[in-house]
Amino acid sequence: MRSFGSYHGIIIEEGLGDRSVLAGMRILGSKRAGTWTLLKVDVDEARIEELIGLVQKNLRIEKGVPFYAHFYRRGELIVVFPEKIFHLKPDKVTWKSAVNYGKSKGIPEEELDFKPCKFEEETY
């Protein structure tokens, strides 16, 4: 059972250079999306900054295009790229800076949806 202080996150397992960073998180579920495995994780509020830093350092860049991860809880959305972190709201109108950044790095816009970004949107 998650505490009110926890964050959930979505991480593409294949996008991590060192998967041992997952040891600091509880894996709540996974699903396949093409060749990727999307992991839904739970991170305690007290460790979120530390684990975001570890994830950021371990995000792979493949053929010049970076992987990214995102974390969320009540009214917060944190999008983590290898070289930049965005603090946004779950409301899509606040995502423009992160979407534009991702597109500038070669990520297709349709992959920059940051879903789910609310606990109630989770499907796995």
Cα separation, 61 vs 67, in Å, equals 6
Confidence of residue 2 (pLDDT cuts 50, 70, 90): very low
Q: What is the pLDDT of residues 12-30, one digit of tens each?
A: 999 999 999 999 899 999 9
What's the Cα-to-Cα distance from 50 to each of 46, 77, 96, 118, rounded to whole Å?
9, 16, 26, 22
In this structure, what token pair is assigned to residue 30?
Answer: 């996974």
- pLDDT reported for residue 64: 95
Q: What is the pTM of this model?
A: 0.94
Question: Using the 8-state DSSP alphabet, how is residue 97 labeled?
Answer: H
